């Protein structure tokens, strides 16, 4: 979607570690610890590549492979501010009725799209709406 609409779409990551997944929350914390060193998306991609083998050792291994400052990374893995940030996302998701992932919000509204095609159609509808809004303001 970003490749197709590079200037018109912004993608935001929200954490929603599912409770029945043992390492999900720790993985989110690790990704945010990597964010502090500017490597969130690289770490994010590596987590999804290793989705079936996540554990404490794997978090450190990925950090090492991405050449993160390990001392800082391990310290940030215990950063309560990161945990609080993730908990805020969970609270927001809980309130919006998120039960599974991925759940997508388009301009703040939960999308019911279940396929990439349906998502694209939702995004195009929203782009059209934004365009009309700009035109309306231009005329007004």
Partner 1 sequence: MQRKNIIIILPLVFALGLSLILLDSVSAQWRTQNIPSSAKDTDLSLSPSKGSDDAPVEIAVFSCFE
What's the rounded Cα separation, in Å, for the pair 60 and 62?
Answer: 5
Site for partner 1 in 59-78 (CB under 8 A): none
Q: Judged by CB, which is closer to partner 1: 118, or 127?
A: 127
Q: How far is the CB of 129 from partner 1 (least distance, A)?
A: 9
Contacts 24+ apart (CB under 8 A), 118-122: 119/1, 120/1, 120/4
CB 38 within 8 A of CB 44: no
96 binds partner 1 (CB under 8 A): yes
Q: Could you give the CA distance from residue 65 to residue 51 in angstroms, rounded to a whole number?
A: 16
Interacting residues toward partner 1 by CB under 8 A: 1-2, 5-18, 21-24, 27-28, 31-32, 35, 40-41, 44, 47-48, 51, 54, 85, 88-89, 91-98, 101-110, 123, 126-127, 130-131, 134
């Amino acid at each position: 979607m970003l490749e197709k609409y590079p200037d018109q779409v912004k993608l935001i990551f929200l954490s929603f570690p599912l409770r029945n997944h043992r390492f999900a929350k720790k993985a989110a914390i690790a990704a945010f610890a990597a964010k502090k060193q500017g490597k969130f998306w690289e770490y994010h991609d590596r987590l999804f590549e290793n989705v079936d083998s996540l554990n404490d050792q794997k978090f450190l291994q990925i950090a090492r492979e991405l050449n993160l400052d390990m001392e800082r990374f391990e310290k940030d893995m215990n950063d309560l501010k990161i945990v609080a940030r993730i908990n805020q996302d969970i609270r927001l998701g809980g309130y919006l009725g998120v039960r599974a992932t991925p759940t997508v919000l388009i301009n703040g509204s939960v999308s019911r799209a279940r396929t990439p095609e349906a998502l694209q159609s939702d995004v195009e509808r929203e782009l059209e709406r934004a365009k009309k809004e700009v035109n309306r303001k231009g005329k007004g």
